[in-house]
Amino acid sequence: MPHLAGKRILLGISAGIAAYKSAHLARLLKKAGAEVRVVMTEGAQAFITPLTLQALTGEAVRTSLLDPEAEAGMGHIELARWAEVVLIAPATADLMARLAHGHADDLLTTLCLATEADCMMAPAMNQAMWRHPATQDNAVRLAEYGWRLLGPDAGDQACGDVGPGRMLEPESIVAMLSTATEPLPLAPEPLAIPATAMPDHATALDALGLTITLTAGPTREPLDPVRYLTNHSSGKMGYALATAAARHGARVRLISGPVSLATPAGVERIDVESASEMLEAARQAIADSDIFIGCAAVADYRAEQYNEHKIKKTPGDETLVLRLVKNPDIVATMASAEPRPFVVGFAAETRDVEAYARDKLERKNLDMIVANDVSQSGLGFGADENAAVLLWRDADNEPGRLELPPQSKATLADAIIATVVARFHATQREARKAPQQDTP
């Protein structure tokens, strides 16, 4: 992690069972070359001892705002000035609430108010606490104050519940921290999005609390043990979308065909090969998904019959006839599910791009479609840049359109996710306003 070498990181630890992960996190940060100092809340010391953190960092651990020896030199201000990054892991619901409302009633909250460092936190709490509107409001407020939230993850919890609220694993936090300290800006410049597409209260964490499932990359349809049908998709666009969705605050599940790309930090990845495997993974994933984005370049056809042994060349034959059958249409299947998520498709075309895309939007009953011209040199498959046109219909069945010019896939992905989430929120508002039918 070259970008962490020499970084001055103040690690704040609050009172949660996930504090046991903080010891491993401190060790990883030191291993990456960072200078690490630790501040613990009083409650955190019930879960892990200051001596453990002192042994791992080689620095005295601070626990009290009213430490006469430290405060003789205004220790909390010295710590606030020393830090280049303030990282709180775990950050409990209580600590988030206190920071969101400007409290300064212990050493950690006081130095957070006094610092000009980059501030990040890894939330950790029960799934119901994370989902509570007060916690969600606090998370949004913290983002508006400049805090970056890393996670939370979802899964089994110490209390026996299952859902979002787990602290990210230390390895993921270090990876995200390294990305955040690169010399390039973390997030692309925001693009102007039409007011008709935006939610009432767009924020830096507009996807907070949402689960987004994406497909990415190509599929491989086997012919025999050594050959398969596939396409030129690199997966870069789908992975950029997954990264952007996580940055917008969503829990992200990425169903990936075979690609040579690293899993984005904080993203759950499910590897598949064929279209059938991708469909099965998608079916299982949409049960708790708010948004489904079908970005994968799924092979339209597969071999009718798989050959158990390598297909051999026959002397004298100059041609080989393969009988192909249609693969399942994954995005259309998701759009016909009940209940269904907000479904976004992709249309990679070489001519009449918008016409074909609009037809696919209507025919497959999608909520939105992202159309791009893959015939343009330097854009699309395998390239680092892309352009797109986003198409949808609003509540009055009026067509919506947003054109995004050529730009890096990372920047484009951020604009796509912002628009998708905005349309999701708008659709939710429209559904709430729709007259409810009386049940007999």
pLDDT tens for residues 88-102? 999 999 999 999 999
Residue 132, pLDDT score: 86
The token pair that represents 152 in the structure block: 């939370």
331 is in an annotated binding site: yes
Residue-wise pLDDT tens digits, 4-36: 888 899 999 999 899 999 999 999 999 988 999
Residue 364, pLDDT score: 94
310 is in an annotated binding site: yes
Proportion of the chain above pLDDT 70, given as a percent: 86
| CATH number at 2-180 | 3.40.50.1950
438 is in an annotated binding site: no
Between β-strands 291-294 and 85-91, what pairing exists: parallel, antiparallel or unpaired?
A: unpaired
- Per the prediction, the chain carries an average pLDDT of 83
Q: 174, 258, 255, 175: which is closest to 215 by C-alpha? A: 255
Among residues 159, 186, 325, 395, the one annotated as catalytic is: 159
346 is in an annotated binding site: yes
- Architecture of the CATH domain 195-433: 3-Layer(aba) Sandwich (3.40)
Higher per-residue confidence, 64 vs 43: 43
Whether the upstream peptide bond of residue 90 has omega within 30° of 0, thus cis, is: yes
Query: Is 80 exceeded by the pLDDT of residue 86?
Result: yes
Residue 196, pLDDT score: 37
Residue-wise pLDDT tens digits, 233-282: 889 999 999 988 887 878 899 999 999 998 887 789 999 999 999 999 99
328 is in an annotated binding site: yes
312 is in an annotated binding site: no
Mean pLDDT of the region 59-70: 74
344 is in an annotated binding site: no
Contact 344, 289 (CB under 8 A): no
Residue-wise pLDDT tens digits, 182-239: 432 333 333 333 333 333 333 445 677 789 999 999 999 999 999 999 988 889 999 9
The token pair that represents 413 in the structure block: 């992905």
Is 119 part of the annotated catalytic residue set? Answer: no
264 is in an annotated binding site: no
C-alpha 28/C-alpha 129 separation (Å) is 29
pTM of the predicted model, to two decimals?
0.59
Helix (H) or strand (E) holding 354: helix 353-363
How does residue 431 score in pLDDT terms, banded at 50, 70 and 90?
A: confident
- Which residues make beta-bridge pairs with 401? 391
Least confident among 104-118, 136-150, 376-390: 376-390
Residue 233, pLDDT score: 87
Domains 2-180 and 195-433 share a fold: yes
Q: 25, 22, 55: which is closest to 40 by C-alpha? A: 22
Each domain of the chain, given as residue ranges in start order, spans 2-180, 195-433
How does residue 130 score in pLDDT terms, banded at 50, 70 and 90?
A: confident
